[in-house]
Chains A and B, each alone.
Chain A
Amino acid sequence: MTTLTATAEEPRTAPARPEYRVTGRRVLASEWAKLWSLRSTWITLGLGLLFLVAFGLIAASRYKSGINSGHMDRDFAASTAVSLSLFGTNFAQLALGVLGVLVTAGEYSTGMIRSTLAAVPRRLPVLWSKAAVFGLVALVVGTVGAFVAFLIGSGIVSGTPAAMDLSHAGVLRSLLGAGLYLGLVGVIGTALGALLRSVAGGISVLVATLMLIPGLISLLPSSWQDNISPCLPSNAGESMFALTHDSTTLSPGAGLLVFLCWTALALAGAAYRLTRSDV
């Protein structure tokens, strides 16, 4: 066998073979179709939206009843309509982050990844498409949820010290920030799923990053805490949608920047593993 024959094109059986071609836009369309063709997507997104709105409303109602009865919890004393209605962000981020992990790690646990990567053997377009599609969906769900929670929640607390409306300084930014935060949590979830290739592993790391590490950081010497704590993913993310900021937190812009760095780091790790390891 000479190199000449090896490189020669095969004779086509039918001259009118259709011209198929893999493009970035088509991989996006495929991932979009994949996301919506699973029941778990609808259920988890519904849960995320429910958490976001329901917990916001519950927090607002508790505040209102506290005001009316005169027994105000200390936790609630400094609340605003924004902080009350975004109370559910903590829970919504779990639902959206977990779904993000499922989008990628779910393909490994089921074996679907073999079909996916056989169709797109260059691999990286799959990761970018999954992250973009799910990030966008999580962003939309998060933003819609934040606005719905605020519009109803601010109605509940109107006439109390916490009352605010959309025209109040920083409110719009906080609500958009919350949506953006949830969208990026979705992207981090997909990246962790692709990096760890395991649903359980991805969810564990996600929960640890967003919920456990901020607690553990209190074990560090306080001078370290002051430097590290604001830059942790969860705290940096929180600065994106907090209405007020003090010396221990980052500004919204800096928070967004730091959180974007964390997202990029997770994506880079996922891209590295995806291109380097066998499936």
Chain B
Amino acid sequence: MIDARQLTKRYGEKTAVDGLEFVVKPGTVTGFLGPNGAGKSTTMRMIVGLDAPTSGTVTVNGRHYAQHQAPLQEVGALLEAKSIHPGRSAHNHLRALALTHGIPRRRVDEVIELAGLGSVARKRAGAFSLGMGQRLGIAAALLGDPQTVMLDEPVNGLDPEGVLWIRNLLKTLAEEGRTVFVSSHLMSEMALVADHLIVVGRGRLLADTTVGELIREAGGDTVDVATQDPARLRDVLAGPGVDITGRIGSEELQVTGLTAREIGLAAAEHGIALFELSTRTVSLEEAFMDLTRDAVEYHGSTTTTGTTSGSTTVTTAGTETMTETLGRSA
């Protein structure tokens, strides 16, 4: 379990991580999502004590990382940047790390096999491809058989087979009851492995949610309706769990909580003419983009977004969602 409280990191004027507050629980894969420069890597470096927080704290299994007597047994981390000496072989690299904890040689061979490095373990790590380097980093992360596995952009540079391997590995680790914390700037990749999502933008927490909920909140189950009599249709559709928005004087309504089929049937029953009835499909990627774009707007920067009338509504909805999410997590 990872527990961050008001975690903040400033580099001079720049705030890389701004009051992050989240808990990563065991038994699931938690995705750590955000655009480049959102503060993901900095947060992960603070978790393993490489960077000291400017304020706030982050603990692992109830203690600061450095206070554990066997840190590699608590958290196994793959950090974004290369963390090896290119002149040392993969085997010797892992062996040197294992020696600090009294981890037996047998375990070194085990993780080498697990990471599929058996044939190159005695070669200089400097000659490794990007993918091989990632595999070595993951082998190092698993060396101490850690309770918590934390991987920064693990699929970077991996071939399709490697990506599949990572996905299965993450799921297996979570099923074993471990805490799995994986960062990525690719929502599509996260959607396939993560159960829970922590989304950050500009160092701030944007969402702490599940994949399904994120889509729903971003308007993934909204139905666009254009009707002759919006006022009456509102009354007809109103009910518990149903949310209807629309501008005054406009024929268009956005309905959540009902399917297009249910709306169509209700309108027919009451003889209300419909001009348009369509379910809005929002991919996880779009939901993520909306969320992070809001973060940019939230900070008052000028960003150019191609706004059609449709996406304007989405943005407004998204802003509400975000405020709601922030309010809940604070």
Contacts and interface: CB of A to CB of B under 8 A. Distances in A.
Bound pair: A and B? Answer: yes
Interface of A: 1, 6-13, 17-23, 26-27, 29-30, 33-34, 37-40, 106-107, 110-122, 278-279
A205 B325 CA distance: 53
23 contacts: A6-B59, A20-B101, A21-B69, A22-B70, A22-B101, A26-B99, A27-B100, A106-B85, A110-B82, A111-B83, A111-B84, A115-B83, A115-B97, A115-B140, A117-B49, A118-B71, A118-B77, A120-B100, A121-B71, A278-B45, A278-B50, A278-B51, A278-B52
Contacts of A18: 103-104, 145
Nearest to B52: A278
A9 B178 CA distance: 13
A10 B178 CA distance: 10
Given A121-B65, A121-B66, A17 B145 contact: yes
Nearest to A3: B62
Interface of B: 1, 3, 23, 26, 45, 48-52, 59, 61-62, 65-66, 69-73, 77, 79, 81-89, 92-93, 95-97, 99-104, 140, 144-145, 147, 176-179
B154 to A, nearest CB: 16
A243 to B, nearest CB: 40
A117 B147 CA distance: 19
Given A20-B72, A21-B102, 13 more contacts: A9-B61, A10-B1, A12-B147, A17-B145, A26-B101, A30-B96, A30-B100, A37-B95, A111-B84, A115-B140, A116-B97, A118-B48, A279-B51
B95 to A, nearest CB: 6
Contacts of A107: 85
Given A21-B69, A27-B100, A114 B50 contact: yes
Contact of B99 (A12, A30, A122): A30
B137 to A, nearest CB: 9
A158 to B, nearest CB: 44
A115 B84 contact: yes
Nearest to B94: A115
Contact of B84 (A11, A20, A110): A110
A38 B97 contact: no
A8 B66 contact: no
B97 A30 contact: yes
B71 A119 contact: yes
Contacts of B23: 1
A7 B62 contact: yes
A21 B72 contact: no
Contacts of B92: 33-34, 37
Nearest to B107: A18
Contacts of B99: 26, 29-30, 33
A152 to B, nearest CB: 33
A20 B72 CA distance: 9
Contacts of A30: 96-97, 99-100
Contacts of B79: 114, 118
A12 B146 CA distance: 11
Given A114-B81, A118-B77, A122-B66, A38 B96 contact: no
Contact of A21 (B61, B83, B88, B101): B101
Contacts of B86: 110
A84 to B, nearest CB: 37
B26, B86, B99, B145: residue with the most chain A Cβ atoms closer than 10 Å: B99
Contacts of A29: 99
Contact of B88 (A19, A20, A38, A118): A38
A20 B99 CA distance: 10
Contacts of B52: 278
Contacts of B71: 22, 118-121
Nearest to B71: A121
Contacts of A10: 1, 26, 61-62, 147, 179
Question: Which are the 3 A-B pairs with shortest beta-carbon distances?
Answer: A121-B66, A30-B99, A37-B92
B53 to A, nearest CB: 10
Contacts of A112: 83-85, 88
B70 A33 contact: no
Contacts of A110: 82, 84-86
A247 B172 CA distance: 75
A37 B92 CA distance: 7
A74 B103 CA distance: 61
A10 to B, nearest CB: 5
A279 B50 contact: yes
B102 A26 contact: yes
Contact of B103 (A20, A40, A116, A279): A20
B178 A34 contact: no
A107 B26 CA distance: 33
Given A8-B62, A18-B145, A33-B95, A117 B50 contact: yes
Contacts of B145: 17-18
Contact of B176 (A13, A19, A279): A13
A26 B81 CA distance: 26
Contacts of A117: 49-50
A119 B50 contact: no
B313 to A, nearest CB: 35
